[in-house]
A and B are shown apart, each in its own frame.
Chain A
Amino acid sequence: MSAPLVPLHPEPVAGDDHTLRWVVPVGVLDFVGAPREVPACLQTLLDDGTIEALAVEPAAVRIRLSAPASWRVDGPRMRAAVQEALAVPEQWSPVGNGSPDEVLRMAVQEVIDGDVGAYVRSHGGDVALLEVHDGEVDVRLSGTCTHCPASDVTLTDRFETAVRARYPALRAVRARDDTAPGGVRRLLSLTPLRRR
């Protein structure tokens, strides 16, 4: 008899063969950043030096192996350890306060560093995180982007969807226009329209 396992798969990190992001469902671990405490199966691997670094992201556990360990050889063992550790989320604890806003801040940063940010930059614009407070996010749009009529709908929609995928409790995303400092250009839904 077994309970269903937590969904889990690895994704490579560009330019770093030693690091993998083990993608896990949002909310399994309720904090982000380096953990203070992890279940024994992972702690052993940290202790014996197989794992060099381990960090929790909003929808992944990022693990860096130290040579000579390699994912090709040690992958199956690592998967088993991560899978086992995810079955006992209560045995994980964060270094910091691990507040929800911290999870959200990292989620936003991930989105800015990821696809959506890359899309903005490819169009000559930029997006930066200003503030996270009580599930609300303020970002600054700059460059040519701000004048693009598409930015209103497409960009903020994509941005919000991507953040919410990593942090379902997101309440709102506010985009500030840096040409008018402090002026809120558009206020997005205060209550989430789409719930998972």
Chain B
Amino acid sequence: MSMVSTHLRQRVIESYAPREHASDAASARTTLAELGCGRRARIVDVGGDADPATARRMFDLGFAPGVEVEVLRRAPLADPVIFRIAGYEIALRRVQARCIEVSTPA
């Protein structure tokens, strides 16, 4: 294990709490897997109870707390799902999408 990866492995991804409307009652919490096509949401937490290595990878792929994500389309058998994040498109299986908590404008 190299120095860099040892260092990176210690990262902990903190959840997102916007300063102004910290507990905005109008927004609803859900996971990416539950979101329908065409919906947009803001990422609140990455990882949840998933494997920390997976959470760190999701972060490196752009699924960072505070970032906006859009659901683009589902595969014919409903899995995987394509999302747009950080200006590009990426497909995740539902298992991974479930680890990403989002808040949606009600």
Contact = CB atoms under 8 A, between A and B. Distances in A.
Interface stretch (B16-24, B47-55, B97-105): B16-24
| Chain B, interface residues (CB within 8 Å), range | under 10
Interface string B60-89: 000000100000000000000000000000
Contacts of B15: 1-2
A180 interface: no
Contacts of B34: none
A68 interface: no
Interface string A1-26: 11110000000000000000000000
B37 to A, nearest CB: 28
Contacts of A3: 17-19
A4 B14 contact: no
Chief secondary structure at chain A's binding surface: loop
B7 to A, nearest CB: 11
Nearest to A4: B66
A109 B66 CA distance: 36
A1 B18 CA distance: 9
Interface string A109-131: 00000000000000000000000
Nearest to B44: A1
Nearest to B14: A2
A71 B17 CA distance: 32
Interface in B1-57: 14-19
Interface of A: 1-4
15 contacts: A1-B14, A1-B15, A1-B16, A1-B17, A2-B14, A2-B15, A2-B16, A2-B17, A3-B17, A3-B18, A3-B19, A4-B16, A4-B18, A4-B19, A4-B66
Given A2-B16, A2-B17, A3-B17, 12 more contacts: A1-B14, A1-B15, A1-B16, A1-B17, A2-B14, A2-B15, A3-B18, A3-B19, A4-B16, A4-B18, A4-B19, A4-B66
